């Protein structure tokens, strides 16, 4: 609950303490390791496919859909816990958990254990962005948050680049060293690479666990309670309210009326009908052999659309839960600008994950590069460009915010995402690796410009106590649209076209027209929605 902070020292609005910079460094490292453990599958995909006998569609499921289901679901209760418990301890615990599951991937001898390891990584990483962003917004004033978000963007790029470089080089070194046999535990290179990627997470988890917890709302007009009385109970209630099945018990427990029950069941029926239709459509478009899962078989398209349907129902349940239990959050989050920015982030993430998830395989197939060459060249290039882009986007976001307010951020998003498809088509039509890398420089720089302004604007549209659950809500929408759809879409298009990954990667830009329409509406509404945040919360009963 919001509380006055008159008795606490006033912090100059442009000051960042030494502890703030230290916090930014540690949570950025956590963000980098999150991307490392999540993305390393992409560079190892050719070896995994060969060892486990699975195709591009199945790799897309492992890389995106299986991970996305649990990442999205658990980001919600963990995001709620971010708003009510000690964020540093929570992030440290979750980092140790996902590092354990990343290491477990090394012991996979089939699709099932690798899928279990991926879902474990997804659960652990569910707290990363809600906790990290909530911590940073309480260490940095409004005028420096673009720069802070740029640092987080740089961490994403470093994690992505390191996953390519480490995965490719380490895996090939191991396979070369033990080409004649005798590898410890019988490991292949890709299995050893998973172990190496998992190891740094444990000492970093300890450092974050011991880090000082910042005061909530320190740089905002509205402060919030540091720790709630029953944060874990509130978090469990969120999980129960959004999970299909238990959500009905929570509706009964909260004495929901006939209107809420009808809306819930109608929404479920529409979601099931949509997913049934998409299963039939994708099975006809790109038939896939069944997967061996837990002693049985399962059509990969059924798994894909089960996850999507599950996620859609979770999102509906979440907003219904807000309305029944936290009306101020419901009124604040349910604003056109905020929801459309979430959709924009999700659609662009579909492009980013579709591109980055299959580019290593594209380089190996199209230009005959080895895994080590691909990992070293593409990984280092992606990391370097991912650093340069946010270094430009962060200060540019802050400058535009000073000059134009919220609309300045939205203009930058519109510019970057409006021209990026043209550069994407140009890049993946290159005839040689040298030409590809030159074109990718321009494409990647443009693709890194959108994240700092979008993340900064998302969290400006809510009260400080709502930042964890807001970013968790964004996470599930972004995950469903992005990680859950992007790699899968590229994978089935590639399988349909006989493995033509270049054309498949280009095809993901089909979502761009919808994305641009959403940004245009945000540009029209954002100042109005930002100015009315406190008014809407107060009208719903928030004691501001």
Q: What is the pLDDT of residue 99?
A: 92
CB 138 within 8 A of CB 119: no
Residue 4 CB contacts under 8 Å (≥ 6 apart), including other chains: 223
CA dist., res. 308 & res. 72, Å (int): 11
Query: 426 vs 103, 419, 422, 441, CA distance in Å?
Result: 38, 12, 6, 12
The H or E element that residue 179 is part of is none
Which residue's structure tokens are 């004649």? Answer: 180
Residue 2: beta bridge partners? Answer: 224
CA dist., res. 433 & res. 363, Å (int): 7
240-275: pLDDT as tens digits:
888 888 989 888 888 888 999 999 999 999 999 999
CB 190 within 8 A of CB 171: yes
Low-confidence residues of the chain, pLDDT below 50?
A: 1-12
Residue 296: beta bridge partners? Answer: 293
CA dist., res. 458 & res. 488, Å (int): 27
Provide the 8-state DSSP code for 448. Answer: T
pTM greater than 0.75 (yes/no): no
Q: What is the pLDDT of residue 453?
A: 87
Dihedral sign, Cα of residue 300, residue 305, residue 307, residue 308: positive
How deeply is 4 buried, as exposed, middle or buried, from its count of CB atoms within 10 A (0-12, 13-18, 19+)? exposed
Among 465, 445, 432, 218, smallest CA distance to 332 is for: 465
Query: 199 vs 99, 103, 194, 215, 311, CA distance in Å?
Result: 7, 8, 9, 31, 31
- In total, the chain counts a number of residues equal to 544
CB 502 within 8 A of CB 428: yes
CA dist., res. 493 & res. 486, Å (int): 11
Provide the 8-state DSSP code for 203. Answer: H
Q: What is the pLDDT of residue 514?
A: 92
CA dist., res. 392 & res. 140, Å (int): 18
CA dist., res. 268 & res. 310, Å (int): 9
With a pLDDT cut of 90, the percent of the chain lying above it is 14
- Residue 223, classed as helix, strand or coil, is strand
CA dist., res. 449 & res. 390, Å (int): 6
Q: What is the pLDDT of residue 206?
A: 94
Q: What is the pLDDT of residue 296?
A: 64
Which residue's structure tokens are 């390791």? Answer: 33
The DSSP code sequence of 398-418 is HHHHHHHTHHHHHHHHHHHHH
Question: In angstroms, how far is CA 37 from the centroid of its own chain?
Answer: 13
CA dist., res. 98 & res. 161, Å (int): 19
CB 300 within 8 A of CB 59: no
How deeply is 86 buried, as exposed, middle or buried, from its count of CB atoms within 10 A (0-12, 13-18, 19+)? middle
CB 76 within 8 A of CB 239: yes
CB 47 within 8 A of CB 169: no
The DSSP code sequence of 120-178 is HHHHHHTTHHHHHHHHHHTTS-GGGHHHHHHHHHHHHHHHHHHHHHHHHHHHHHHHHHT
Q: What is the pLDDT of residue 544?
A: 66
CA dist., res. 362 & res. 285, Å (int): 21
CB 238 within 8 A of CB 472: no
Which residue's structure tokens are 């948050």? Answer: 145
Q: What is the pLDDT of residue 220?
A: 62
CB 382 within 8 A of CB 374: no
CB 482 within 8 A of CB 349: yes
Provide the 8-state DSSP code for 85. Answer: S
The DSSP code sequence of 272-313 is HHHHHHHHHHHHHHS--PPEEETTEEE-HHHHHHHHHHHHHH
Among 386, 372, 494, 486, smallest CA distance to 440 is for: 386
Among 391, 450, 400, 396, smallest CA distance to 420 is for: 450
Q: What is the pLDDT of residue 275?
A: 92
Question: In angstroms, how far is CA 507 from the centroid of its own chain?
Answer: 21
């Amino acid at each position: 609950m919001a509380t006055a902070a008159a008795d606490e020292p006033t912090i100059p609005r442009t000051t960042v303490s030494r502890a703030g910079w230290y916090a930014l460094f540690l949570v950025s490292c956590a963000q980098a390791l999150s991307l490392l453990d999540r993305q390393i599958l992409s560079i190892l995909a050719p070896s995994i496919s060969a060892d486990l006998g699975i195709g591009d569609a199945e790799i897309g499921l492992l890389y995106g859909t299986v991970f996305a289901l649990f990442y999205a679901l658990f980001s919600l209760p963990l995001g709620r816990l971010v708003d009510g418990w000690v964020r540093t301890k929570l992030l440290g615990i979750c980092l140790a958990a996902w590092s354990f599951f990343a290491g477990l991937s090394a012991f996979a001898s089939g699709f099932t254990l690798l899928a279990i390891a991926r879902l474990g990584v997804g659960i652990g990483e569910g707290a990363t962005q809600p906790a990290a962003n909530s911590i940073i917004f309480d260490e940095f004033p409004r005028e420096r948050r673009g720069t802070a978000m740029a640092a987080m963007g740089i961490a994403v790029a470093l994690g992505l680049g390191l996953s390519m470089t480490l995965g490719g080089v380490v895996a090939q070194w191991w396979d070369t060293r033990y080409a004649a046999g005798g590898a410890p535990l019988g490991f292949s290179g890709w299995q050893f690479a998973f172990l190496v990627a998992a190891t740094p997470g444990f000492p970093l988890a300890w450092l974050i666990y011991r880090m000082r917890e910042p005061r909530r709302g320190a740089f905002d007009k509205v402060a919030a309670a540091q720790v709630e009385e029953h944060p874990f109970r509130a978090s469990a209630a969120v999980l129960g309210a959004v999970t299909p099945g238990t959500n009905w018990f929570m509706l009964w427990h909260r004495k929901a009326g006939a209107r809420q029950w009808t809306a819930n069941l109608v929404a479920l029926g529409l979601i099931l009908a949509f997913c049934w239709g998409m299963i039939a459509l994708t099975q006809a478009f790109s038939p896939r052999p069944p997967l061996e899962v837990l002693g049985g078989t399962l059509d990969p398209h059924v798994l894909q659309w089960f996850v999507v349907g599950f996620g859609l129902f979770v999102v509906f349940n979440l907003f219904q839960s807000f309305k029944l239990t936290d009306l101020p959050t419901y009124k604040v989050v349910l604003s056109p600008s905020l929801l459309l920015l979430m959709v924009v982030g999700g659609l662009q993430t579909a492009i980013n994950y579709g591109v980055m998830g299959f580019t290593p395989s594209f380089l190996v197939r199209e230009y005959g590069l080895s895994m080590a060459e691909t990992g070293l060249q593409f990984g280092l290039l992606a990391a370097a460009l991912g650093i340069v882009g946010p270094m430009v986007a962060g200060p540019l976001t802050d400058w535009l915010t000073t000059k134009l307010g919220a609309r300045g951020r939205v203009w930058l998003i519109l510019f970057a995402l409006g021209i990026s498809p043209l550069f994407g088509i140009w890049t993946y039509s290159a005839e040689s690796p040298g030409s590809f890398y030159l074109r990718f420089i321009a494409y990647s720089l443009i693709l890194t410009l959108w994240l700092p302004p979008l993340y900064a604007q998302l969290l400006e549209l809510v009260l400080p106590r709502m930042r964890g659950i807001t970013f968790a809500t964004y996470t599930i929408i972004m995950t469903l649209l992005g990680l859950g759809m992007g790699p899968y879409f590229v994978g089935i298009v590639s399988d349909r076209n006989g493995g033509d990954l270049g054309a498949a990667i280009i095809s993901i830009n089909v979502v761009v027209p919808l994305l641009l329409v959403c940004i245009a509406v945000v540009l029209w509404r954002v100042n109005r929605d930002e100015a009315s945040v406190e008014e809407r919360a107060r009208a719903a009963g928030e004691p501001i």
